[in-house]
Copies of this chain bind each other. A is one copy, B any other.
Amino acid sequence: MRDFLPEDVRRREHVVAVIRRVYERHGFEPLETPAVENIETLLGKYGEEGNKLIFKILKRGEQEASGQADLALRYDLTVPLARVVAAYQAKLPKFFKRYQIQPVWRADRPARGRFREFYQCDIDALGSTSPVVDVEVLSAVSEVLTELGFTDFAVRLNHRVLLTAMLESAGVAPEQHGEALVALDKLDKIGAEGVAGEFGARGISAAAFERLQKVFDAPEANLRSLLAGHTAGTSALDELAIIMGLAESTAAAGRIRLDPSLARGLSYYTGAIMEIQVPDLAGSLGGGGRYDNLVGMFLGRDVPACGFSLGLERILVVMGEREMFPKGLDAAAAEVLVTIWNEDARADALALAGDLRHAGLRVDIYPDADKIGKQLKYASSRQVPVVAVIGDEERASGKVSLKDLRSGAQQTVPRAEAADAAGRILKA
């Protein structure tokens, strides 16, 4: 797990602010849940492997010695959403659209770009099976990436039912669907030959993979004919066509590509599945889809839902490598450093700092009446662009000297004009 020093926090806050603004413009509302959940809420929800990756919290007080856990750290934002939906159903609207930007914890082995504490930025729209909802989700995440400055992202789109239909139509036996999906999910990484090998090793016919590969290579030309006569598959494909058509009226226009090989690991999807990629990142910037049977798990009835999770850390990695952060972000903490000429000048220095702050400037004040050269050197080492000095002369005449450390230029202005003058220097 990592510390975030000021520059890191500023970059994260920049991205989070954009995400939040775009999500709110799309009518999503903020939700936050506690870091700690009852252990029963989480256990069994993420499979055998997930259970092992949950951080478990020891009982307290006299029960601590038992070595047992009763609480656990949040593992994702979906199970807490399901708990909230059950707990507050009377308070929540019929169509509940929430966003949630919070850390989750997984006891994974840390690796490059993978951490044990990481932020998820989720949106989920509950309560409707309409494709308009899927389109709204795609619009929101596309607008986030566009506002962050991404111009080359692509949305891969597929459908859970379509996947099953393709496997059936290609001649994969139902009991082999799970293994086939696991293999297909690796197509990006291990290539067609690799997947064919995995199919073979699992006793799935080579002919089946050949049929699928033809579709993956040219879905427009071959998908409908593979599915001929498969009602559920054809109707899933029609649904995707509607989503893709409607998305052309939104921020997702021109971004979506039907990709029948997209499988996504999680088994809880029931409809459209989606993933966002950029050319220079092996994994995805985020993914999501429709999952109509999960959010109602604590409620005892199905709640239709479509959601998407953007990966904050990956977005930050790519934006860092591409130098996509606005320049001002990496600027100094303070825009002006007010120096202290001598002990008698401290009150004046504090008052000046107050005036500059009221004008909205970020202002630091040097703590001691050190030699002025030392104070200027400190400002320079901290990349503070402007230094304010109230020396004996300035004090006597009610003035302030402002020094632009970037150009070396200096000007002396009346105290009342100091904030305006500093603002002008900063904008120059």
Contacts and interface: CB of A to CB of B under 8 A. Distances in A.
Contact of A249 (B2, B67, B350, B364): B350
Interface string A247-263: 01111000000000000
A1 B5 CA distance: 28
A71 interface: yes
A405 to B, nearest CB: 16
A105 B36 CA distance: 9
A346 B250 CA distance: 11
Contacts of A80: 3
Given A35-B105, A55-B36, A357 B30 contact: no
A198 B14 CA distance: 54
A: interface residue count bin? 35 or more
Contact of A27 (B27, B56, B348, B365): B365
A303 interface: no
Contacts of A56: 57-58, 64
Interface stretch (A94-102, A225-233, A277-285, A413-421): A94-102
User: Copies of this chain, how many?
Assistant: 2
A28 to B, nearest CB: 7
Interface string A100-117: 000101010000000011
Which of A4, A143, A357 counts the most B-chain CB atoms under 10 A from its CB?
A357
B60 A58 contact: no
A6 B29 contact: yes
A130 B368 contact: yes
A33 interface: yes
Contacts of A350: 132, 135-136, 139, 246, 249-250
Given A56-B57, A139-B350, A9 B36 contact: no
A362 interface: yes
Interface in A325-379: 333-334, 340, 346-351, 353-354, 357, 360-368, 378
Interface in A110-137: 116-117, 125, 127-128, 130, 132-133, 135-136
A348 B95 CA distance: 21
A10 interface: yes
Interface stretch (A84-92, A152-160, A267-275): A84-92
B130 A367 contact: yes
A61 B251 CA distance: 45
Contact of A5 (B31, B67, B125): B31
A70 to B, nearest CB: 11
The 8 closest A-B pairs by CB, nearest first: A67-B67, A27-B364, A1-B34, A6-B29, A9-B30, A130-B367, A128-B367, A249-B351
